[in-house]
Amino acid sequence: MIKIVLRLISLLLFFGMINLSAFAQDKIERELRIKETEVPKEAKDWLNDAFETIKKPKWYQELFESGYSYEAKFKLKGKFYSVEFDSLGNIQDVEIEISVEELPNEVQTGLNKLLSADYKNSDIKRIQIQYSGEPDDLEDFFDENSLEGILTRYEIEFIGLDEAGDSKLWEGLFSDKGELIRKRKIVLTPSENLIF
Amino acid sequence: MSVGNSFSQDRQFFSGFFPEAAITKKLKNDQKIIFKIEHQDIFYNNSADESKEWQFTHYRTDLMSFFDVKLKPSKSIAFGVFHRIQEGANSNRVIQQFASVNRLRGMKLAHRLRTDQTFTKGESMEVRFRYRIATEIPLSGSTLDPGEHYLVLSNEPIFSFQGGEFEIENRLVFSLGKLINSSQKLEWSIDYRTDKFIQEGFRTRLWAKVGYFYSF
């Protein structure tokens, strides 16, 4: 008897699982790897003008509820770059990964203030310096080091354990004076499949 | 006498279907409770009578539960209890685990260290040490988003001590997974297990797995 029940459970699990793939999905926000040929010419041209020495960037399309954008990722002189363009290929911003030590003092102070006020415990996962501005200004910044028209901000990913005892991954955007401009939660995918 | 039969005398091979499901309930203070069921049915066994090599036999069903506490955002310890339903070999087990999951650029890398003690009626206690390394790689883009597929590759050597005997087992698993939404994952896997490296009767077991993981 017990064997029959177990066998039934096994079959139910099997067919039940297949049906589960048809379940409703969360809000769609995806990043897809795409071929260079699918990228608007404007974006490729801007990248070539601003960074003449990069070899082959990896291109991604980011899909949001309201539309999509393009992103190029590459490594240059030991640093990780990600360059974002809108759906027409116009440059939006350039982000470069840096270490905590490279953060200006004012930003470090602002970050520490936020972390100690809102969280019992925290861990910084990733810091990016973000440059935005008009396409020509951004291009001049990268090939001539001209700061004119450039807005510098810092995007910081951290895990924070709040007073309620929940730990979440956050992305905070800070001004170059260390003020928090906005904060959004990053949805983490479960990892139980890897450790149980 | 067929070749298959003489081969089967020293190399046992069996294969079957292996569904598993795990449900995780998140608690306060970064604690979790996990319930998991694993079920194995044998479809083919080369050591059976020739006429019965192809079969559909219940092998075992394992029920387990873990209490998991995060030490740091990426590291956790867990304690588990386990009950096995297997004809003539029902057993109970306690499990201790340390695990770390690192989010790297474009992948997750997980390490799992386990010790467990198994109690089976009429046998001496079996103590095992296990180490599993697993990597999860998204198949579209550098992050895994809802609706996307991923690959998992894992390997786990297991060292066992029982009644003065030492034994080694290895488990290699290759999975194709789908993140259904931010709380559900579905995986199709090939699980290749080899054991009895030291003692007589080298054995391989190949499982077609389907796994469902739900976390809330």
Mean pLDDT of the region B124-132: 97
Tell me the β-bridge partners of A84.
A71, A93
Q: 2.30.30, 2.40.160, 1.10.287, 1.10.3470: which CATH number matches B3-215?
A: 2.40.160
Output the pLDDT for position A1. 67
Query: Tens digits of per-residue pLDDT, B162-198?
Result: 999 999 999 999 999 999 998 999 999 999 999 999 9
Using the structure block, give the residue that is written with the tokens 């291009």: A139
Looking at A21-129, list the stretches that DSSP marks H as alpha helix, in order from N- to C-terminal side: 41-50, 105-118
Picking from B213, B215, B32, B181, the residue whose alpha carbon sits closest to that of residue A166 is B32
DSSP letters, B99-147, are EEEEEETTEEEEEEEEEEEEEETTSPPEEEEEEEEEEEEESSSSS--TT
Cβ of A20 within 8 Å of Cβ of B73? The answer is: no
Residue ranges of the domains in chain B? Answer: 3-215
Chain A: residue nearest B98 by CA? A195
Output the pLDDT for position A27. 44
**Cα–chain center distance at B159:** 15
ipTM: 0.89
Mean pLDDT of the region B21-39: 94
Q: Which of the four pLDDT bands, split at 50, 70 and 90, describes residue A14?
A: low
Output the pLDDT for position A65. 81
* Residue, of A21 and A119, whose pLDDT is higher: A119
- Residue B156 CA to residue B68 CA, distance in Å, equals 20
Mean pLDDT of the region B122-131: 96
pTM: 0.83
Chain B: residue nearest A12 by CA? B19
Cβ of B180 within 8 Å of Cβ of A20? The answer is: yes
Chain A: residue nearest B179 by CA? A189
The DSSP element (H or E) to which A165 belongs, if any, is none
Within chain A, how many helices (H) and strands (E) appear?
Answer: 5, 9
Cβ of A60 within 8 Å of Cβ of B142? The answer is: yes
Taken in order B142, B144, B145, B150, is the CA torsion positive or negative? positive
* Residue, of B66 and B6, whose pLDDT is higher: B66
Mean pLDDT of the region A9-32: 57
- Is pLDDT of B2 > 60? no
Q: Which of the four pLDDT bands, split at 50, 70 and 90, describes residue B136?
A: very high
CA dihedral of residues A93, A98, A100, A102 (deg, nearest 10): -90
Cβ of A29 within 8 Å of Cβ of B136? The answer is: no
- The lowest-confidence range among A60-64, A173-177, B66-70, B139-143 is B139-143
Using the structure block, give the residue that is written with the tokens 């070999």: B89
What is the nearest CA distance from B2 to chain A, expressed in angstroms? 32
Total CB pairs under 8 A between chain A and B = 141
- The lowest-confidence range among A5-14, A29-38, A115-124, B204-213 is A5-14
Query: Tens digits of per-residue pLDDT, B42-85?
Result: 999 988 777 888 989 999 999 999 999 988 878 999 999 999 99
Cβ of B182 within 8 Å of Cβ of A80? The answer is: no
